[in-house]
Chain A
């Protein structure tokens, strides 16, 4: 009963999108389309190069954002998890602000500077701006990962003579893997789903799938919009399955 409600509420949109994609001529007030057609699939086939290009570009800059935020957040997350100092709450608030405040508030002010630095209309600029709005998710995830891990493993390794680098690589990173995967998934989704910042800083020069999708969503062609929305989902879903599998494999091999 409750499960039916959940599926109706959250599961229904996907089959409806699929139906719209398969029946672009679906007209009101039919609850089931009168005729199916392959027009949207033919569009995707005919434009497969530009679609694949946009998907690849989105995937690449989103993965770069995950890498940048992971590198930038490791040491600060450790400090937030283990350190005790005055003004900690205020510092945490400041560090989380970029995810809470309207992204436009900083992006439009910074835009002129990005143009002057030659970062506008480049993938590097896109990665920078997306990293700014998404790093707080990585920071929170890693900080709670460090808290769960505790300091004892690191201390044991230090007692046995491991230096800071070895401690990080051999002891802490493997234990942080679940937290990093959780944070990385959110960061990837934020970057991959973003339309506004990518359009602003990428200027349409950096291809993105949301940039490809948006005008179609605005057009009256609901069938094509549904089809491209489903295409969008392929990358995150495939990537999450791949990562889940990899994490499982790593843990099995290490016998954890």
Chain B
């Protein structure tokens, strides 16, 4: 570590990211045999890659755990051709599943990132003695997804606490007048649950990133006449941008493919894509397994596509900023 440069008045000068230093002489150029350091991870990476490969193979009817025996084939049971599983996906309710996945994942990730950034800014501005009390935001981190889904039922179902409070306040006349947030067909219940679970994740990363923001920057902006919102928009959010982009992507991908919250809060049609694959695999006949594998392969491809598209989008935004 080089000594931090200091301003004459003794305050540390914010260290600018210096690519020359980050990639400079301190690091080792790695020769081929040093890559052997990665070998312990192969124990975990190989099952992952094998699993993905097997899923893709099974979508084409290859390497299925259960194959037709010769005598079954003689009885007229034939494994259908390689693309049967994929053809089975070309149905309107499958498209509905994927769209629901994109909507729920996109909305919950967007709400979490926006709300998390705002709340993190609030936590960061708290006086030091109140910081400890603010740690309460970490509660949902410890709660498993299935308990968060249960909390959504306790608070937001028609017989839940919010509905009861609105009834007591005289705003609604009965349970049936409360909007069907859960199981209403649009996935709002899942959005609520994911957002609650994911807000603290964004806050954790954003507060850590804000601790590296020189507090004099927002102060200077205020002194130069910027309003609260202008400070947030022009100083805080640009500083947080890398963290917010990364967490949006992580949260989106997770919610898009996960099954635990949808198992409790989702519906059968349209089902979240993970649940649709789960149902095809376990609840239907063995002949549907290639279709389940095809759907899972499609999900993996979608995720890879989202990552590529998002990275390009962000790179494009950065490029435009640089031109300005």
Contact = CB atoms under 8 A, between A and B. Distances in A.
Contacts of A229: 143, 147, 150
A72 B45 CA distance: 10
B141 A189 contact: yes
A151 B159 CA distance: 59
A95 B119 CA distance: 31
Interface in B36-73: 37-41, 43-45, 47-58, 63-65
B100 interface: no
Contacts of B182: none
A106 B161 contact: no
Interface in A1-22: 2-3, 6-7, 9-11, 13-14, 16-17, 20
B30 to A, nearest CB: 4
B40 A84 contact: no
Contacts of A113: 50-51, 54
B108 interface: no
Nearest to A229: B147
B284 to A, nearest CB: 14
Interface string A212-252: 01100110001001100100110011000000000000000
Given A16-B154, A213-B146, A100 B29 contact: no
Given A3-B133, A105-B55, A28 B144 contact: no
B287 interface: no
Contact of A83 (B34, B43, B140, B258): B34
B102 to A, nearest CB: 14
Interface residues of A, number: 77
Nearest to A133: B48
Contacts of A3: 126, 130, 133-134
Contacts of B258: 102-103
A168 interface: no
A75 interface: yes
B294 to A, nearest CB: 11
Contact of A84 (B23, B144, B149): B23
Contacts of B254: 100
Contacts of B123: 6
B192 interface: no
A111 B64 CA distance: 10
B164 interface: yes
A73 B138 CA distance: 26
A177 interface: no
B238 to A, nearest CB: 22
A54 B50 CA distance: 30
A78 B133 CA distance: 36
A217 B147 contact: yes
A75 B37 CA distance: 5
Interface residues of B, number: 92
A83 B27 contact: yes
Interface string A85-108: 100000000110110111111111
Contact of A131 (B44, B119, B250, B253): B44
Contacts of B29: 83-85
Contacts of A205: none
B305 to A, nearest CB: 12
A68 B47 CA distance: 14
Given A76-B40, A84-B30, A109 B55 contact: yes
Contacts of B154: 13, 16-17, 20, 222, 226
Nearest to B277: A104
Interface stretch (B88-96, B225-233, B295-303): B295-303
Contacts of B41: 72-73, 76, 95, 135, 139
Interface in A21-40: 28-31
A79 interface: yes
Contacts of A104: 257, 259, 274, 277-278, 296, 299
A101 B273 CA distance: 13
Given A100-B303, A102-B274, A109-B56, A132 B163 contact: no
A139 B37 CA distance: 13
Contact of A108 (B55, B138, B151): B55
A210 B28 contact: no
The 6 closest A-B pairs by CB, nearest first: A102-B257, A106-B51, A112-B65, A109-B55, A193-B144, A110-B51
Interface of B: 1, 23, 26-30, 34-35, 37-41, 43-45, 47-58, 63-65, 119, 122-123, 126, 130, 133-134, 136-147, 149-151, 153-155, 159-161, 163-165, 167-168, 175, 199-200, 249-250, 253-254, 256-260, 263-264, 274, 277-278, 281, 292-293, 296-297, 299-300, 303-304, 307
8 contacts: A78-B37, A104-B259, A109-B53, A109-B296, A110-B51, A151-B28, A210-B146, A217-B146
Given A104-B278, A108-B296, A128-B47, 8 more contacts: A6-B134, A10-B137, A28-B159, A76-B40, A106-B48, A108-B55, A108-B292, A217-B147
